[in-house]
Chains A and B, each alone.
With several copies, the nearest count.
Chain A
Amino acid sequence: MAMKQTRSRHEALALGAEELLKIYRHMLSARRTDERMWILNRQGKAAFVVSCQGQEAAQVGAAYNLRPGHDYAYPYYRDAGIVMTLGMTARDQLLSLMGKGEDPNSGGRQMPGHFSSRELNIVTASAPIGVQFPQAAGTALAFKMRKEDGVVLASGGEASTSGGDWHEAMNFAGVHDLPVVFLVQNNVYSISTPEPLQVAGSIAARAEGYGFPGVAVDGNDVLAVYEVARGAVERARRGEGPTLIEAKTYRLTGHSSDDDDRRYREREEIEEWRLKDPIPRFERYLLENGVLDEEGRDEIDGKVKAEVKEASDYAENAPFAESGFALEGVYAVVGGKR
């Protein structure tokens, strides 16, 4: 940073070392889990990977402001960083990757990346893009009707703003000042389609048209995202209404393990963005500010890797659900325990 500051950025945000390290660890866990998934994919042990890599700052920075199990989250398929910040584990991710019976999202019914946890109020995610936004608005409305201070985080990629659902939800949230934070992770591509063919104008600028604040933020700077999201969550909690956050970031992997991104983007572009990788970047910040030293870093990384390795072994050895599981549980039972 060129500007002189009397206090460090994290002090200005009232974030202590412990909290910084938690944030760091969430980011790292998401990353290492994802890396493991690609290994398993190459080993032929996992059919499909969809990655968070490059977007961990946007995800963890935003989710760190939520109260797990009280607030609600509507993540999208890249949001391992969000769900792991809220309490899902590497093991959960790897069980889902391999479609095992213990997969907390669906018991092996859904593809990986379709997060769900009733305990953590992570609402079962869909594949159809954008459907979560009206749902999130509804969930926020329930909080408002009961005069509770719950907040809803609804997340998606930049292409999730192109469909009607996003707009209908933005408008409704604006009409009723709902306690919802819209987080758009603009990672420049939607599969192969580059942003200029996807988004007219500016996503962040659209919020004004709905009468609430929109902020564009460097999505690879976890503290910047944290700050903006904190403001948004607090605003929502105070009953002042929604905020739209556009986190400008980049997808470091292909769209998924099925995608060959050489068809539509230059290697140089990826290399440029690798230099802005949010994890080394935050690491440098922590090192420079004396929150972490090389040794500490290696220790954390070692622990995270071990955890991921153990999770991976566990998942690999875990059983599939019994085959009858595919055919049951279509309807909730009337008069059931709910």
Chain B
Amino acid sequence: MTTKSLLQAIHDGLAGEMRADETVMVLGEDVGRAGGVFRVTEGLQEEFGEYRVMDTPLAESLIAGAAIGLSVNGMRPVAEIQFADFIPPAFDQIVSEAARFYYRSGGAYYVPITVRVPYGVVPGGALYHSQSVEAWFCNTPGLKVVAPTYPADAEGLLRSAIRDPNPVVFFEHKRCYRLLKEEVPEGGAVVPVGKARIHRAGTDLTVVSYGFVLHQALEVAEKLSTEHGVEAEVVEPLTLYPLDRGTIVDSAKKTGKVLVASEANLTGSVSAEIAAVVAREAFEWLDAPVMRLGAPDVPTAPFAKPLLESFMPGAEKIEAALLELARY
């Protein structure tokens, strides 16, 4: 067991898979000599060389497209997109190509690539270094989308993603990179793609959340327990697409009250799908409407600190929503 931050866990997951399988490689902007703008890939180029850890030109479509072509010819590439906000040029290669090879070739070609994507609000990041863009990828059959928050989950899921024969988009919340450390088993926990995790059991209500907001939700859940005797069950989807509907719906049936909270612009976010599924599948069990919290429908977190405050969902809003649910 080692104690690691999210960032270290992802680093170790990469290094571990690269040591175990020489077809695993990393490519992206500044991932080599600089070790990535967040230092996730630090030291990898020294260990694995300039090709297996490749600094690419500034061309996201090329990064994703080349990863596909590499995977077709025997490699297992992990592509890094420097910030989620810069993934749109790669959208076509990920959504129309990587996700479709297997189906369109009748199962002949598969695309075992992983696309790592740092996302989420960090102070000062502003419009183009803050967005939560996961919903863009959650309407595409053939693709898998994961978004772990805790170190052990992240290392385990990254290893699973790399070994997965399908393309996996791997979201990492920037603000969680160094937020806390956690024990991670040597060689990484086994965390399968497609399974949600219950962080905290509870009987009174359910919170479904991920990313930085999950940390806040867990804090609020503790507070509610001590201050109000309300026991919230906190569920993290881990895989956003396809969803582990079973775990989420079971929790909803147990508690009868559900809040879905994330940092994405509320309308059209992944929370909509989760809420729709719960509202449908757990209808008979619901004692209150499925509530959602997200960022307001505004482009995104502004640069100026005082403006930023008004943007994030935040612990108070989560608490207020949960108390409303509890009293419903």
Q: When chains A and B are docked, how far (Å) is the Cα of A146 from the Cα of B37?
A: 28
Is A201 part of the contact surface with B, judged by Cβ < 8 Å?
no
* Chain A residues positioned under 8 Å from B164 (CB to CB): 334
* Chain A residues positioned under 8 Å from B109 (CB to CB): 116, 118, 123-124
* Chain B residues positioned under 8 Å from A198 (CB to CB): 57-58
- Min distance, Cβ A331 to any Cβ of chain B, angstroms: 5
Using C-beta atoms within 8 Å of the partner chain, give the interface range for chain A: 35 or more
Q: Is the CB of A323 within 8 A of B297?
A: no
Q: Is the CB of A124 within 8 A of B105?
A: yes
Is A134 part of the contact surface with B, judged by Cβ < 8 Å?
yes
Is B110 part of the contact surface with A, judged by Cβ < 8 Å?
yes
Other-chain contact of A172, B56, B71, B296 (Cβ < 8 Å): B56
Q: When chains A and B are docked, how far (Å) is the Cα of A165 from the Cα of B126?
A: 23
Most A-side CB within 10 Å, residue of B34, B60, B77, B141: B34
Most B-side CB within 10 Å, residue of A117, A123, A199, A324: A123
Q: Is the CB of B33 within 8 A of A264?
A: yes
Q: Which residue of B lies closest to A97 (CB)?
A: B303
Q: When chains A and B are docked, how far (Å) is the Cα of A329 from the Cα of B103?
A: 6
Q: Is the CB of A172 within 8 A of B303?
A: no
Q: When chains A and B are docked, how far (Å) is the Cα of A124 from the Cα of B309?
A: 24
* Chain A residues positioned under 8 Å from B105 (CB to CB): 105-106, 116, 118, 124
- Min distance, Cβ A187 to any Cβ of chain B, angstroms: 13
Q: When chains A and B are docked, how far (Å) is the Cα of A131 from the Cα of B93?
A: 7
Q: Is the CB of B310 within 8 A of A332?
A: no
What mask results when residues 311 to 334 of chain A are scored 1 for a CB within 8 Å of chain B, else 0?
Answer: 000000000110111110111111
- Min distance, Cβ A242 to any Cβ of chain B, angstroms: 14
- Min distance, Cβ A257 to any Cβ of chain B, angstroms: 10
Q: Is the CB of B96 within 8 A of A128?
A: yes
Q: Is the CB of A332 within 8 A of B107?
A: yes
Q: Is the CB of B124 within 8 A of A323?
A: no
Helix, strand, loop or mixed for chain B's interface? loop
Stretch at the interface among B81-89, B149-157, B198-206, B283-291: B81-89
Contact (A197, B55) CB under 8 Å given A109-B304, A110-B126, A111-B129: yes
Is A99 part of the contact surface with B, judged by Cβ < 8 Å?
yes
Q: Is the CB of B70 within 8 A of A141?
A: yes
Q: Is the CB of B58 within 8 A of A160?
A: yes
Q: When chains A and B are docked, how far (Å) is the Cα of A144 from the Cα of B73?
A: 11
Contact (A192, B303) CB under 8 Å given A137-B65, A165-B61, A330-B102: no
Is A76 part of the contact surface with B, judged by Cβ < 8 Å?
no
Contact (A105, B304) CB under 8 Å given A134-B62, A193-B29: no
Q: Is the CB of B65 within 8 A of A165?
A: yes
- Min distance, Cβ B185 to any Cβ of chain A, angstroms: 20
Q: Is the CB of B97 within 8 A of A163?
A: no
Is A108 part of the contact surface with B, judged by Cβ < 8 Å?
yes
Chain B stretch 199-253: residues in CB contact (< 8 A) with chain A:
none
Is A211 part of the contact surface with B, judged by Cβ < 8 Å?
no
Q: When chains A and B are docked, how far (Å) is the Cα of A135 from the Cα of B68?
A: 6
Is A159 part of the contact surface with B, judged by Cβ < 8 Å?
yes
Q: Is the CB of A48 within 8 A of B124?
A: yes
Q: Is the CB of A326 within 8 A of B69?
A: no
Q: Is the CB of A109 within 8 A of B104?
A: yes
* Chain A residues positioned under 8 Å from B193 (CB to CB): 334
Q: Is the CB of A330 within 8 A of B298?
A: yes
Q: Is the CB of A330 within 8 A of B299?
A: yes
Q: Is the CB of A326 within 8 A of B307?
A: yes
Is A133 part of the contact surface with B, judged by Cβ < 8 Å?
yes
Q: When chains A and B are docked, how far (Å) is the Cα of A128 from the Cα of B144?
A: 22
Q: Is the CB of A171 within 8 A of B66?
A: no
Q: Is the CB of A139 within 8 A of B72?
A: yes
Q: When chains A and B are docked, how far (Å) is the Cα of A116 from the Cα of B104?
A: 9
Q: When chains A and B are docked, how far (Å) is the Cα of A329 from the Cα of B110?
A: 11
Q: When chains A and B are docked, how far (Å) is the Cα of A169 from the Cα of B62?
A: 6
Other-chain contact of B57, A106, A141, A165, A197 (Cβ < 8 Å): A197
- Min distance, Cβ B301 to any Cβ of chain A, angstroms: 8
Q: Is the CB of A109 within 8 A of B106?
A: yes
Q: Is the CB of A110 within 8 A of B75?
A: no
Other-chain contact of A138, B57, B67, B88, B96 (Cβ < 8 Å): B67
Q: When chains A and B are docked, how far (Å) is the Cα of A264 from the Cα of B193?
A: 36
Q: Is the CB of B70 within 8 A of A164?
A: no
Q: Is the CB of B59 within 8 A of A172?
A: yes
- Min distance, Cβ B122 to any Cβ of chain A, angstroms: 11
Q: When chains A and B are docked, how far (Å) is the Cα of A103 from the Cα of B104?
A: 11
B residues lining the A interface (CB < 8 Å):
25, 29-30, 32-35, 37, 51-52, 55-62, 64-75, 77, 85-86, 88-89, 92-93, 96-97, 100-110, 123-129, 141-142, 144, 160, 163-166, 192-193, 296-299, 301-311
**Interface pairs A-B: 3 shortest CB-CB:** A134-B65, A138-B69, A127-B128
- Given A127-B86, A326-B307, 14 extra CB contacts under 8 A: A105-B106, A109-B127, A109-B303, A124-B105, A128-B85, A145-B52, A163-B59, A165-B61, A198-B57, A321-B304, A327-B310, A330-B299, A331-B102, A338-B165
Please name 11 pairs of A and B residues whose Cβ atoms are closer than 8 Å in the assembled complex, sorted by A: A138-B72, A138-B77, A142-B70, A142-B74, A162-B57, A162-B59, A329-B102, A329-B107, A331-B144, A332-B102, A338-B110
A residues lining the B interface (CB < 8 Å):
47-48, 72, 98-100, 103, 105-112, 114, 116-118, 123-124, 126-131, 133-146, 150, 152, 159-160, 162-165, 168-169, 171-172, 175, 190-193, 197-199, 258, 263-264, 320-321, 323-327, 329-334, 336, 338
